[in-house]
Chains A and B, each alone.
Chain A
Amino acid sequence: MILGSAKSVRRVHLHGGGVVRIGARVVLDTSIAPIELHVERGAEIVIGDDVYVAGGTSMEAQRSIRIGARACIGAFTKILDGHFHALEGDRHVRPPPSVVIVEEDVTIGPRCVLLPRAHIGRGSSLGAGTVASRRFPPHVALAGVPAAIRGKRTAP
């Protein structure tokens, strides 16, 4: 793990053998629950400067998860870049992973799920419990399962 000046690495479950890059002044706030960063060999999780990650968040990277600067990730959020199981046939066969990108100034509410191919545009927000798995434009407010654009978001 490459640390900028992360505030807390207590109760952060790191496993898998890949690369985690954490920017300056990142807060991994494990006060309410642990945080899980699972990065498989050859994969990466890149967390930008000034990101806040609340407890209970789990990121599982088989290829790449990137969190932009000043993003805020709510409690119990799950971020996955691979589905782990096939839709049909042998469910223990893993489909190929894709990439998840959260751009700068995004706010993610609690209990959200970001699935493979999710790409949240700069300055957008996700309401609590939103499930996203495709590209969304910048500066929109997203909510629902599956995620839909519910409005504009101008303030970061």
Chain B
Amino acid sequence: MSALPSVDRVRRGVGMLRASFVLRECAIGERVSVRGRLIVCADGRVRIGDRVQFAEGMFGSELICEEDADLAIGDETVLNYGVSIRARARVCIGRRCLIASLVTIRDHDGRRIAPIVIEDDAWIAHGAAIEPGVTVGRGGIVSAGSVVYEDVPPGYLAIGNPATMLPIDAVRGRSPRRG
């Protein structure tokens, strides 16, 4: 252990301080870190699990939880920059999920409102959009740029616009995207 804290440790500390300020209206777990810009509107119930990280990048992210809505993010989930999560009913993200840059997760689209559930260990890749009412199963992958209107079964990969489902086994050893 060196006497001076490393750059990483300082950054982590600053991230945790920022988290306690930015997420002050939310129920947050231990060691939550907000490194990038984050817009939070917590009119409903927002719960952020332990060691959740909001990464730094070119754009800020937003967490919008409207009145009487629920927005939950599980332990150890990592969110990259430019992520937009909007809950009018319920958005529930599991543990150890990876939410990549510029992903949009919105449970309302102007016509309908339906809850979104993203189960543990899911990976939502860059630029994907999760539409209202969708459940992404445990360990599921939504590939880059996909727009998901239907449920992704556990262990499946969603690809395309509109997304179609492939078992992850079928794409093993290949690029997750065939475009």
Interface residues of A (CB under 8 A from B): 13, 33-36, 56, 58, 76, 78, 80, 83, 85, 87-88, 91, 111, 113, 115-117, 129-134, 144-148
Q: Is chain B's binding surface mostly helix, strand, loop or mixed?
A: loop
Across the A-B interface, the 3 shortest Cβ-Cβ residue pairs = A146-B179, A131-B145, A147-B179
Q: How far is the CB of B121 from chain A (nearest CB, A)?
A: 7
How many angstroms from the CA of A118 to the CA of B125 in the assembled complex? 17
* Chain B residue contacts of A111, Cβ below 8 A: 127, 145
Cα(A111)–Cα(B59), bound, Å:
14
| Residues of chain A lying within 8 A (CB to CB) of residue B179 | 115, 130-134, 144-148
Contact of B172 (CB < 8 Å), options: A34, A87, A116, A148: A87
Query: Are A116 and B161 interface neighbours, CB within 8 A?
Result: no
Q: Which among B127, B143, B145, B161 has the highest number of chain A CB atoms within 10 Å?
A: B145
Q: Is the CB of A78 within 8 A of B101?
A: yes
Chain B interface size band reads 20 to 34
CB-CB under 8 A for A145 and B168, given A33-B59, A91-B121, A117-B175: no
A148 surroundings in chain B (CB, below 8 A): 179
**Which residues of the partner chain B approach A132 to less than 8 Å between Cβ atoms?**
179
Enumerate 22 A-B pairs (CB-CB under 8 Å) in ascending A order: A33-B58, A34-B58, A36-B57, A56-B59, A76-B102, A78-B126, A80-B126, A87-B172, A91-B121, A111-B127, A113-B144, A131-B145, A131-B146, A131-B177, A133-B177, A134-B175, A134-B178, A144-B160, A145-B146, A145-B161, A145-B179, A146-B178
Closest to B159 in A: A146
Contact between chains at A115 and B59 (CB < 8 Å): no
Q: Determine which residue in B121, B126, B141, B177 has the highest number of CB atoms from chain A within 10 A of its CB, and name it.
A: B177
Contact of A58 among B98, B101, B168, B171 (CB under 8 A): B101
